[in-house]
Amino acid sequence: MNNTLDFNRLGKVIRRDAMNFIPNFGWSLVILWAIPVVIWLTSFTLFISQGGEVGGRLQMLRFLSTIALVVAPAKLYKDCNDPRKGIQYAMMPASSLEKFISMFIFCVIVTPIVYTAGAVALDTIMAAFPGKNPYDGFIFKLLFNAKERDMEIVEAMGSQSLMYDGYLDDVNNAFSGFFIYFSKIISIISMSAIFMFGNMIFKKRKTSKMIGILVLVFIFAMVIFIKWVMNHEDLMDSIADEELNREMLIHLIRKANYISWMISIIISAVMLGLTYRKIKTQKY
C-alpha cells in the first residue's frame, strides 16, 4: 500500500471535503454574494444611476473574493486542529499529503472559482436588467482580459491622475498577459496559504488572529522601511532630483513586481510547508 499518495484515496478525501463544502461554507458564500445584490437593489430603488461602472464592480468583486479566500480555511477546516472535534479528521484513513492536497484544492482553487462564478453570474443578471439600470456593462466580458480588466480597476480608483499621461499604457506594456495572470495566481496562493496556516495554528478566532498578525507584520515592515529610507537620505534625494524617465520607470516597476513575486512565492512555500507539517504532527 502506498502510504504517501494514492489517487483513489485522494479522490475519497476530495469527495468528503466536497460534501462538507456547502454545509460549512454555504452561508458565508451567500452573504458575500448578497452584498453586491443589496448595493444594486439599493441603487435601483433609489434611482442612483452612477457608481455602477464595470471598474468599480470589478474592484468590489476582487475585494469580496479576497474575503472569501481569507475566511475559507477557517470555515471549511475549522475543526481539524480541535482537540475533540479534530479527532475524526486526524484519524481519517488518508495520508497527511492527501489531506493537505484536498485542503489546498478547496481553499485555493474551488473557493475563488465558486465565488467568482456565482458573483459574475449575479452581476450579469443585474446588469442585464431592463430599465434605468445603475449597472453599466458586463464584468464577464473582461474576466479573461487581464490587461483591460486592470485598466478599468485603476481608472475606477482614479490613481492614474497621480501619474503622467500614458502611465497606464507603460505599466501595461511592462508585463505580458501571462505575467499578469501569474501575478494574480501567486497572490491568491500566498493569501490562502497564510490563512491555511493560521487555521492550523489557532484554535479559536483563527481568521481575526491571523489578520492581527499580518497587521503587526505590516507595521513592523513599514517601520523598517521608513528607518531604511531615513538612513539613505542621499540616495532618495538623488532619485527625486532625476527627471522621470519612462524606460527607467518601467524597469523599476518590473523589478518591484519580480521582487514582490519572489516574496509571495517564498511566503506561499513556507506557509504551505508549515501547514502540511502541522497536519502531519498535530496532537489531539
Partner 1 sequence: MIKINSLDFSYKNTQVFRSIDLEFQKGNIYGLLGENGVGKTTLLKILCGLQRPDGGICTIDNMIPSDRKPEFLQNVYFLPEEVITEDTTPEKYIKKIGVFYPRFDMNLFYKLEKELEVDPKKKFNALSYGQKKKTLLACALSLRTDYLFLDEPTNGLDIPSKALFRKVIANYCTDESTIIISTHQVKDVENLIDPIVILDNDDVLLNASFNEITKKVYFEYGPERLPDALYSEMLPGGYINVMPNKDGIESNVNIEALFNAVMKNKELFKSRKL
The residues of the shown chain that bind partner 1, judged by CB under 8 A, are 1, 3, 6, 9, 12, 15-16, 19, 23, 84-85, 87-88, 90-96, 98, 280-281, 283-284
Could you tell me the smallest distance in angstroms from the CB atom of residue 278 to partner 1?
Answer: 13
Q: CA-to-CA distance for 230 and 54, rounded, in angstroms?
A: 41
Residue closer to partner 1, measured from CB, 15 or 62: 15
Residue closer to partner 1, measured from CB, 110 or 142: 110
Could you tell me the smallest distance in angstroms from the CB atom of residue 71 to partner 1?
Answer: 19
Could you tell me the smallest distance in angstroms from the CB atom of residue 205 to partner 1?
Answer: 21
Q: Which three cell numbers stand for residue 113?
A: 472559482
Residue closer to partner 1, measured from CB, 98 or 123: 98
Residue closer to partner 1, measured from CB, 9 or 147: 9
Could you tell me the smallest distance in angstroms from the CB atom of residue 276 to partner 1?
Answer: 13
Secondary structure (3-state) at 127? helix
Could you tell me the smallest distance in angstroms from the CB atom of residue 173 to partner 1?
Answer: 51
Could you tell me the smallest distance in angstroms from the CB atom of residue 24 to partner 1?
Answer: 10
Residue closer to partner 1, measured from CB, 90 or 270: 90
CB 128 within 8 A of CB 43: no
Q: Which three cell numbers stand for residue 279?
A: 497536519
Residue 108, Cβ neighbours under 10 Å: how many? 23
**DSSP secondary structure letters along 26-74:** HHHHHHHHHHHHHHHHHHHHTT--SS--HHHHHHHHHHHHHHHHHHHHH
Handedness of CA 255, 271, 18, 123 (dihedral sign): negative
Residue closer to partner 1, measured from CB, 18 or 235: 18
Secondary structure (3-state) at 165? coil
Q: What is the DSSP letter of 242?
A: S
